[in-house]
Amino acid sequence: MSKTVSFITENFGKYDPNSIDSYLSIGGFTATKKALAMSSGEIIDIAKKASVRGRGGAAYDTGRKWAQAAAVPGDDKVVICNADEGEPCTFKDRNILSKDPFRLLEGMIIAGYTVGAKNGYIYLREEYRHLRPLIKSAIQQSVDKGYLGDNILGSGFSFHIHLYSGAGAYVCGEGSTLIESIEGKSGRPRIKPPFIKECGLFQLPTLVNNVETLAIATAILQNGVEEYLKYGTPQCPGTKIISLAGNVKNPGAYEIPFGLTLREIIYDIGGGIPDGRELKIFQLGGASGRTGSAALLDTPYTYDDLHKYNLVVGSGGILVVDDRTRVIDFIKSIQDFFIHESCGKCTPCREGNRQIAKIIDRFVAGTQRPDDLETALRFANIMKNCAFCGLGETAQSSLLSAVEHFPEEFGKTEVASK
Amino acid sequence: MNNTKTESFGVLTSELALKIDEIIQNYQGNSTKLVGILLDIQDIVPKQYIPREVATYVSVKMNIPLSKVYDVISFYAALSDVPRADYVIQLCDSVVCKVTGNTVLRDTITELLGIKEQEATADGKYWLEYTPCFGACDISPAMRINGKVYGHLTTPDSVKAVLDQYK
């Protein structure tokens, strides 16, 4: 029996994403029509009731975010769709963008209407440039049919969507960095305050939402919030698209109800580990997420249950690593990634990553010094607390959690008894 | 930063300049679209890079300081300021492709083409580089050639079959 569900992804494969007529034939744009007949406050109430947390990784309450964005004064605001899905082991947004682009556009229109924005921007990562023609065409067809542009469906609400391209920089997934990039600059985060909700893109009040978050908004308005709340657990209702990959038999993006255990996800949906191997490490939420061991496999996949074990939902990435990979080699791979992606603006992240990398290299080679682990952990905590943006704050999550769950791999017992 | 010498390198033919004008025109000469403009230009420059003279040309045409153009070129991984090749091969270097065995990919390419990371073949046809995750983890291990994604590359034969399409 399949444990996956179909709510956010219900349109996948049901229509031709190249054709708005095909989308309309399956009830497309009913969510937009419903929204335009409601007040901003009513939509915010629905969003709050659904308690959807941001799906890019930060897990901020979407209803709250929308309420704050709506409350900011100004008649020229901006909605940005963050389609810079750069977190390794995350490809769920690619599925939405390629299989249901109109649902995403609807989510942007609804968000724009709710917060009072005039313009929407999709920031699409360079790696997904093959999807540009599809999305451009979806925007144009929506304009042609009157679902986008001036005076949408005679409601008096006008909203325009623009498509921008990233150029291969992980840090641009961070809200203010993404804004810098859309403004045609290199991607380095801005200091806050001012917060982007007040002073973001082109100095305008700006709302940034992830692709999946916006798609959920459409799905909820279309089907009703009660339908969404039927899924999941009482404490953590709803569904989530996960990106399952690594050493599993059936890697892929799956929509699941919250509350399945990691074991169900990896073994029932993912088919388990190939080649008769054993699970050694799993990592949730991409490279900035946290790692766990097989002992935690019975943890339900909800925000609170994962939090108890210091794990996160993050981007929804679930990476499975079998016993052929050493923990330290896994950590080195993550560290190489952050060395490459640190933008260099702040010292904790730029230098911290470098110094920790040197220590990790010594662990890989087996030439670590007695105080190396302690030093690495100290630097990691400095980064976590003092880095300028989310990238530096979370870059060492893997290391910190790996030391927690696999102390023996770092010779921790020896250090403790020293 | 010497605008008068833009034509001395020989890459920027008048034909290419016209095409660049067209790209800038497509973006209404909007300076906020610089990243997209440079990506599009890189696609049409032989060996897929932004030569100095092209960067200078864009700077003058769009009235953006050359330093700002280079701020963008040097920051983004998808933009190159060194000549690459007709076919840019990008191997995913992410942890996902590592645990699914991307060394086969690297070794096969190095064996077949004789190039390592950040190197081009002598005939200027192939260039090899590593790249962070491009979101093809469901078909890992994966690589991109000129932006097109190929996955499930677990054997030397599967890698060779892909390369054979790029003669």
CATH of the domain at A278: 3.10.20.600
Q: What is the pLDDT of residue A416?
A: 43
In a shared domain, residues A195 and A254: no
A313 and A332 in a single domain? The answer is no
Interface residues of B toward A, Cβ cutoff 8 Å, are: 30-36, 38-39, 68, 71-72, 74-79, 93-96, 98-100, 131-140, 144, 147-149
Q: Which of A229, A250, A281 is the last residue of a domain?
A: A229
Q: Is the domain of A169 the same as that of A247?
A: no
Record: contact B94-A89, CB cut-off 8 A: yes
Expressed as residue numbers, the domain containing A168 is 20-229
Q: Are residues A246 and A265 in the same domain?
A: yes
Q: Are residues A249 and A149 in the same domain?
A: no
Residue-level length of chain B: 167
pLDDT tens digits, one per residue of B20-45: 999 999 999 999 999 999 999 999 99
The pLDDT of residue A32: 98
Tens of pLDDT, residues A342-367: 999 999 999 999 999 999 999 999 99
R_g of chain A, CA atoms, integer Å? 22
Is A13 a member of any domain?
no
Q: In this predicted structure, what is the pLDDT of residue A413?
A: 59
Residues of B in contact with A90 (CB under 8 A): 133, 135, 137
pLDDT at res. A2 = 86
Question: Is residue A5, in this structure, part of any structural domain at all?
Answer: no
Q: Domains in chain A: how many in total?
A: 3
Q: Are residues A283 and A395 in the same domain?
A: no
DSSP assignment letter at A265: I
pLDDT given for residue A53 in this prediction: 97
Residue A366 lies in a domain: yes
Locate the chain A residue with the closest alpha carbon to B71. A186
For residue A12, tell me if it sits in a domain: no
- In this structure, is residue A66 part of a structural domain? yes
Q: Are residues A60 and A134 in the same domain?
A: yes
Same domain, A333 and A262: no
Chain B interface, best mutation among A78, A89, A93, A397, by max B CB count within 10 A: A89
**By CA distance, what is A167's nearest residue in B?**
B78
Shared-domain flag, residues A253 and A202? no
Q: Which of A187, A246, A343 sits opposite B96 (nearest CB)?
A: A246
Q: For strand A290-293 and strand B126-131, is the pairing parallel, antiparallel, or unpaired?
A: unpaired
Domain edge (last residue) among A207, A229, A251: A229
Report yes or no on A118 lying in a domain: yes
- Quick one: pLDDT at residue A418? 38
What's the whole-model pTM score?
Answer: 0.95
Q: What is the pLDDT of residue B7?
A: 41
A277 and A163 in one domain?
Answer: no
Phi, psi of A208 (to 5 degrees): -115, 125
Closest-approach residue (CA) in chain A for B34: A184
Low-confidence ranges of chain A (pLDDT < 70): 1, 413-418
List the CATH number of the domain containing A406: 1.20.1440.230
The 3-state DSSP composition of chain B as helix, strand, coil percent (nearest 5) reads 45, 10, 40
pLDDT band per the 50, 70, 90 thresholds, residue B9: low
Nearest to A353 by CA among A361, A364, A367, A342: A342
Nearest to A91 among B95, B100, B137 (CB): B137
Candidate from A128, A167, A321 with C-beta closest to B76: A167
Degrees, nearest 5: CA angle A103-B133-A390: 80
**The pair of three-digit structure tokens given for residue B63, joined into one six-digit string:** 């009235």
Are A137 and A196 found together in one domain? yes
Interface contact flag, A243 B138, Cβ < 8 Å: yes
Give A251's contacts in chain B (Cβ within 8 Å).
Answer: 137-140
Last residue of a domain, one of A322, A342, A359: A322
ipTM of the shown complex:
0.93
Residue A57: inside a domain, yes or no? yes
Chain A / chain B CB contacts < 8 angstroms:
135
Taking CB atoms and an 8 Å limit, are B132 and A86 in contact across chains? yes
Q: Considering the domain boundaries, does residue A3 fall inside one?
A: no
What ranges in A116-183 are assigned the alpha helix state H?
132-144, 175-182
Domains and CATH numbers, chain B: 3-75 (no CATH), 87-163 (3.40.30.10)
CA distances from A404 to A228, A313, A365, A377, A412 (A): 36, 18, 21, 11, 10
* Full strand arrangement of the beta sheet holding A77-83: A160-165, A117-124, A77-83, A206-210
Find, among A405, A408, A125, A365, the residue nearest to A283 by Cα.
A405
In terms of domains, do A379 and A332 share one? Answer: yes
Query: Pick from B39, B75, B137: which is nearest to A187 by CB?
Result: B75
What is the tens place of the pLDDT at every residue in B99-158? 999 999 999 999 999 999 999 999 999 999 999 999 999 999 999 999 999 999 999 999
